[in-house]
Structure 1
Amino acid sequence: MRVGCRSDDDCSGQHSCVNKNCIPACAPDGSSCGTGATCYGANHRAVCDCPPGLLGNPKVACVVVGCRSNSECPGDKACINNKCVSPCEVNSPCPLPSECRVYNHQPDCTCPAGYVGDTLQGCQKTDITCSGDFDCPSQTACINGACVNPCTATKPCGVNALCKVLDTVPVRTMICECQPGYQGNAAVQCDKVISCPIEKGFIRDDVGNCVCPPNTGLNENEECMRCPEEKGLKVDDRGRCVCALEQGMIIDERGHCICPVEYGYKLERGRCIKPGEKTPGCTSDKDCPDNRFCDLTTSTCEDPCYTKRYGTSPFRTDFPRPEMMVSCLSDGVQVEIRIAEQGFNGVLYVKSHSKDEQCRRVVTLPADSSERTEIFKVNFGNCGLIHVNGQASFVLVIQKHPKLVTYKAQAYHIKCVYQTGEKNVTLGFNVSMLTTAGTIANTGPPPRCIMRIVTKTGQEINSAEIGDDLQLQVEVQPSTIYGGFARTCIAKTMEDNVENEYIVTDENGCATDPTIFGEWDYNADTQTLQSSFNAFKFPSSDNIRFQCNIRVCFGKCQPVNCRGYNAFGRRRRDVSDVELLPKNETEVAVSETIFEGQLREEITIESNAILTFERREERLIDPTEAPDLQRVEDICVSMIGFIIALVITALLALVAVAVAVSCWLMAYRRRPNTSGPLPHPAEFPNPLFTTPEPVTEPSPDYLS
């Protein structure tokens, strides 16, 4: 059996406690409100309200008097003089023979079948060959009643851009793309790309020219190849790697540049020396390879990293080459430095940015430390690191003193070369987007989005208890033309308090916490998007609503994969397409093999608000325990009442004790103070306090 209630607090917000029973605040027979009024329970009381289209005192009666705004009327009617009527019937703005139709409470003029024109010039009768794009063959659209190529008729693309037509339904879609070898905004202008084939070894110099790196030259395949002078090769004036014939080298029958060592010749420092000829020394650094210098004292090419040059030098030249690994990342450049010096105490920083905390790293190692690897990363936009013609570089300084730059400091030029290809911005248009203002075109009505909070059965509600199974439903009308998907949905309150906002789906449409708000699903029967959730609320408010960005598509939108689940958050793209596109490229059009889901526009809408109340659970007990429990509850009081009762009882007890003590003291003070001998037992009375019994006085002797 169910235990009854003691007060309204033991019942849900939609019920009240009457005779220890929770009954609905709204009477089932409708007597709580007036005729035609709607009743809903809130805070244990019946709340009455007149439904849309009715006015009056909801406690007495609601009568049909019309409307207050367009939102209370159907989409094909408007609120005029408190009545839902068609604006075309009241005051049609369309001249004959154009027809007036109402979309989203607003009149719209269209030419009937067999006529073309606009609202200014009127409709002219013509021989129409089509009424919509679906009546036209492939690669054509219905414009002014004729099937023509929309790219030729409208010319939506910019300079050096190509226009393509996709056979989408119900209207055709045009795609603007830059011509091969061009890049830019296809709707405005595409510029010619000066390509630099990095895959062939080319790089861009400081002024942006595409050249071969140092010590390399072009081969017969127009590729940059190493051209070492120590092997008898050189780079000529045309930038090609050729054989240095002036150094005694020859070209054999296979086309190879060789020194005929089989005949006694020998190759030294890029020169082919005849037998018996003395090896000439160097006279300048030009006579030595790039990694050597000419020691004039010995006329030999020496390694500058292991030899002190030109006598005593103020700079150290015998540094051990550090083991570094440079990683060229998408967001910056990362350097891994192996520090083998024990007790290293210094600073790593980017040159000219030593005071910027983002560009420096203090490294302190104990004296007995072992080898350690430090990771030093510089993000783009910080420390002067930017992209310049596909290259990013900075100078890394290894300062081996915590405060000073000494002769032990080392500096390294870190450079990353990024392969950048052509970047085309593809822009999509629909034929309906290109019609000018006032043009009457048979492109269908504009989309209209509706979002509601409903029950599992699809019934719209205005209140719920925490934990109730609800759904957020999104509908794009007309559904025969448009589809939609939702992204960046936010749960909020009517007060628009920033603190009372919670993101339930991210920018891709995937749920941030599926336990709070489920993934989007498409209901083919109702042609709506639905997401299930349990009713919840913010601590400081008793109402909740949702706001979402709805992207409208022509046809059905493609779903996105959220944690292995197809959710209609955004259009899904193949992995191969994503890998081929640059990260910063915005693509509006889909593959030519998909003729559905073309993006039209994005609309921000809000749902209806509902009241949310805390759930009051009723406790079930065993029938055999009910009498005892009932007796216990008959004498139970609340904690506050119990404390108050204890305090009152204690005060009354103190008053009673005080009265008793006062009475005793008064009685004690009024008792008489008697003095005398001690009392005697009854058997031995005190003669002083006894009264003798009277005896007869004897008669005188003279009378006898």
Structure 2
Amino acid sequence: MVGRKTYIGLLILIHLGVLSAEVSYDVSCSSRMMKVAVTLNDSDPVVYLDKLKGYPECQADINDGRATFRLPLDNIYACGTIRVLNKITGEKIFYHRIIVEHPVEPKEMILVKCAIPGEPHQGMFQNRTRRNVLPENFSEPEHINITEYIVARAPVPFLNLALRQKGRMLDTTINVEPGTPLEMLIYLDEKSSDIYGVLASYLKVTDSAHKQEEVIIMNGCSIDSYIFGNFYTSDNGNTLSAQFRAFKFPHSSYVLFVGTVNVCLKKCQGVLCGNDQYGFGRKKREIPDELPSDPNKMFEVEMTAFLKVDYDKNHFSGNNGQLSSSFDKEENQISDKPETNQLPYVQGVGSGSTKISSLSAVMILVTTVISLTQ
């Protein structure tokens, strides 16, 4: 990647990069907007924000061979821009991923970002004491031989927030019905996974118009595991996972998950959520008054995931000749063959008689019993 850095306005970082000979892009930032212009060389490319393909509110303006995205920084939830706050330096980094699909070549991903320098966190200096005098007979050496400089800087973590159905990653082109079993994943990029750990400190769901919302995780603890399962980790905090079933708001086809994730050196400390259990978002209805201070906390990340949830157009219409279930059961409870999950309606014509299925016979029997009791 070839890049250049410059500052404009409030010392806001701008990146100009080239992924390959095919795709080049230009990113410019203000205090309220990140503008990304992607140069397109193919005749019919498809360009969209990561996991927001087809989402009507966040499409690019394509003109003269350039696709332009305008991502608001004062409302990062509108198009899923991720905000990273460095708790030590006060720096804010905004980033997103753009996908470019070529007609023949494999699709490419562009990581675009802007950084706004900030003031160091005041908590760094609150517990420091002033030294009044030097020790008696203190002397400073006249010559110091410095043979080596050791400088190490931890990378900025780039997190991923993904929704998955039976191992398949979902985006806004895929519709799921209410009740479908799903999984939410929060995980670090490969470069950061050996350095940091994560903890989901807050999570809520809202509709696309932000008129209705429901809090799911508060102060690191799940409010109700019947609505949204507990977050758990199997790799020492690099990846968090939670199980839930899809749900929707009455007047919207999209559900937005808006969350805050803590990023800590090595591993975030567990939260005591009740019954002597520590976790990364655990235990329903036993929520601490506030999230305990974690000395390992380095970054605070705000993220958004979009899920398209709506009933299938045939969900409420009957199927002629059969009864079937549209509820998505667990994989070990349902067969891959659809005919094994249906009740057949068998009708045949014999010599002057009609064969009636056992289901119809039961319906006739119930009707007869009701008539006799009246």
Instruction: Please state which band the TM-score falls in when normalised by the shorter chain.
Output: 0.3 to 0.5
Which structure features the higher share of strand residues?
A: 2
TM-score, normalising length: structure 1: 0.25
Which structure features the higher share of helix residues?
A: 1
TM-score, normalising length: structure 2: 0.45
The answer to which structure, 1 or 2, has the higher relative contact order (CA under 8 A, 6+ apart) is 2
Report the structure number with the largest CA radius of gyration. 1
